[in-house]
Amino acid sequence: MVKYYKIFIMKLTTKGRFAVTAILDLALNEADSPVTLAEISKRQSISLSYLEQLFSRMRRVGLVTSVRGPGGGYRTAIDSSTLTVKDIIISVDEQIDATQCGGNENCQEGGRCITHNLWASLNHKILDYLESLTLAQLIEEQKNKTGEHSIYFAPKKINMNIDKSKLATL
């Protein structure tokens, strides 16, 4: 009997990962005063100009507010218990898509490929998972820093009976 552990990793672009990282940093540090992008940039090693682009988008959709003047910066605009990771990623126009065709159903010579439903279903599972995670959960995990990943999604073990003699003929 052979045990297989399969993990399908969908890579988010830098835009989505940095948006989540930056807003988590903001939420962790905004208690007494607004947080500047320069502070986030320094702590998270994200370029200031990139943060400016991300926060401009997040401000437009209402995830953050800006405070002008001396002592200005940014604050979160939505309660962390209702703001989801999905909201953050979508706010910066990040696309999460496992299909080859971008959901257009034209990946097989202009038509729909035979595995389209599989990848479209995976998209829904990923989005459901990201929607189940709130900024408050991420904040709590950072504050606890127990080493245990409370939001980690553990893949299921798959046990398969494989006839190795048949594999040799492939």
**Structural domain boundaries of the chain?**
2-80+89-94+135-164, 97-133
162: left (phi over 0), alpha (psi -120 to 50) or beta: beta
| Model confidence at 153: pLDDT above 50 | no
Q: Is 165 strand, coil or helix?
A: helix
Residue 149, pLDDT above cutoff 50? no
Report the number of secondary-structure helices (H) and strands (E) in the chain. Answer: 7, 4
Residue type, 54: L
- Predicted confidence at residue 155, as pLDDT, reads 44
Please state, in angstroms and rounded to a whole number, the distance separating the CA atoms of residues 167 and 98: 28
For domain 2-80+89-94+135-164, the CATH class is: mainly alpha
Q: Is the pLDDT of residue 108 over 70?
A: no
What is the tens place of the pLDDT at every residue in 32-56?
Answer: 899 999 999 999 999 999 999 999 9
Which residue do the tokens 């002008």 mark? 68
* Alpha helix positions (H), 30-169: 37-44, 48-60, 85-91, 116-132, 135-144, 164-168
